[in-house]
């Protein structure tokens, strides 16, 4: 898959009254280079409409587009890939359905990361690094898990969970070169500016490697 630096995930609860596409376009303008539609509330029809709208937007800007959970929506909206949690469809089954599309897997322990790599995931999520209300049910994994993945995993990985501009330096120092955030990006009063600030920090950290 095309490499990425800043992964922005939708979270409409964080921008009440603001249009989804407008907010995500601002994220792209600020440098987000991969977008994920994550929506646990909408029905199928609404989800498909959002996916198709985000596909138009991301195609216009040459940005990778991923759909969370719903393989059928990802296929119908011509997304670049899907993102699956540990409790979702097994990777090997998803691979049969999506062929060469990107498959991302959330991981919370090194055994899960190694298994995802072994089974052919294109990238993994590593988190939640910090406690987060966005996925309150998930226990934080801490920076030591990021360090372990950086040392042992060869496929691309992205750190996620409670990452803010004021704690991202520590996450980058733990060895990730990619950052994913929901609330800090889409809940910002300056979405593009927040993304630019993330990108600056990611680039600074990459230049030290
Ligand atoms: N997945 P925020 S943490 C969607 O660890 C998601 O797999 C996680 O939201 C994981 O940036 C998370 O607002 C929530 O903390 C990230």
How many CB atoms lie under 10 A from the CB of residue 113?
A: 23
* Contact present, 24 and 188 (Cβ < 8 Å): no
Task: Using a pLDDT cut of 90, give the percent of the chain over it.
Answer: 96
Quote the ligand 1 centre to 110 CA distance (angstroms): 17
Convert the pLDDT of each residue in 34-93 to its tens digit. 999 999 999 999 999 999 999 999 999 999 999 999 999 999 999 999 999 998 899 999
DSSP state of 77: T
Q: Is the pLDDT of residue 209 over 90?
A: no
Site to probe by mutation for ligand 1, drawn from 35, 127, 187 as the one with most ligand atoms within 8 Å of Cβ, is 127
Q: From CA 206, how far away is CA 52, in angstroms rounded?
A: 33
Q: Separation of 128 CA from ligand 1 center, angstroms?
A: 6
ipTM over 0.95: yes
Q: Is 60 annotated as a binding residue?
A: no
Residue 83, CA distances (Å) to 36, 56, 202, 203 in order: 8, 19, 23, 25
Instruction: List the catalytic residues.
Output: 38, 106, 135
Q: How far apart are CA 120 and CA 176, in angstroms?
A: 20
Q: pTM for the complete prediction?
A: 0.98
Report the C-alpha gap between 58 and 52 in whole angstroms: 10
**Ligand 1, CB cutoff 6 Å, lining residues:** 9, 38, 106, 125, 127-128, 132, 134-135, 138, 160-163, 181-184
Nearest to 142 by CA among 166, 123, 157, 161: 161
Please, are residues 23 and 35 in contact by the beta-carbon 8 Å criterion?
no
CA neighbours closer than 13 Å in the CB half-sphere of residue 55: 17
Give the tens place of pLDDT for each residue, 78-119.
Answer: 999 999 999 889 999 999 999 999 999 999 999 999 999 999
Residue 130 token pair: 């910090």
Q: Give pLDDT, residue 134.
A: 95
For a substitution probing ligand 1, which of 27, 132, 165 has the most ligand atoms within 8 Å of its CB?
A: 132
**What is the Å distance from ligand 1's center to 34 Cα?**
15
Which residue bears the tokens 């998930």? Answer: 138
Q: Which residues contact 86 (CB under 8 A, 6 or more apart)?
A: 105, 106, 107, 108, 112
Given the structure tokens 């733990």, which residue do they identify?
A: 174
Q: Which residue has the tokens 């996450």?
A: 171
């Amino acid at each position: 898959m095309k490499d990425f630096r800043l992964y922005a995930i939708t979270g409409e609860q964080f921008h009440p009254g603001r249009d989804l596409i407008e907010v995500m376009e601002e994220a792209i303008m600020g440098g987000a280079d991969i977008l994920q539609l994550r929506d646990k509330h909408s029905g199928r029809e609404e989800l498909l409409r959002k996916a198709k709208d985000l596909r138009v937007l991301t195609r216009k800007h040459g940005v990778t587009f991923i759909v969370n959970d719903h393989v059928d929506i990802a296929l119908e909206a011509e997304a670049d890939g899907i993102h699956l949690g540990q409790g979702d469809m097994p990777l090997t089954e998803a691979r049969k359905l999506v062929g060469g599309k990107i498959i991302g897997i959330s991981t919370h322990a090194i055994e899960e990361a190694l298994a995802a790599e072994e089974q052919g995931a294109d990238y993994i999520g590593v988190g939640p690094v910090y406690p987060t209300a966005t996925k309150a049910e998930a226990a934080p994994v801490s920076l030591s898990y990021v360090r372990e993945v950086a040392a042992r995993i060869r496929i691309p990985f992205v750190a996620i969970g409670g990452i803010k501009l004021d704690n991202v330096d520590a996450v980058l120092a733990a060895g990730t070169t990619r950052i994913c955030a929901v609330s800090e990006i889409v809940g910002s009063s300056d979405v593009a500016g927040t993304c630019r600030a993330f990108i600056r920090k990611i680039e600074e950290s990459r230049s030290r490697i």
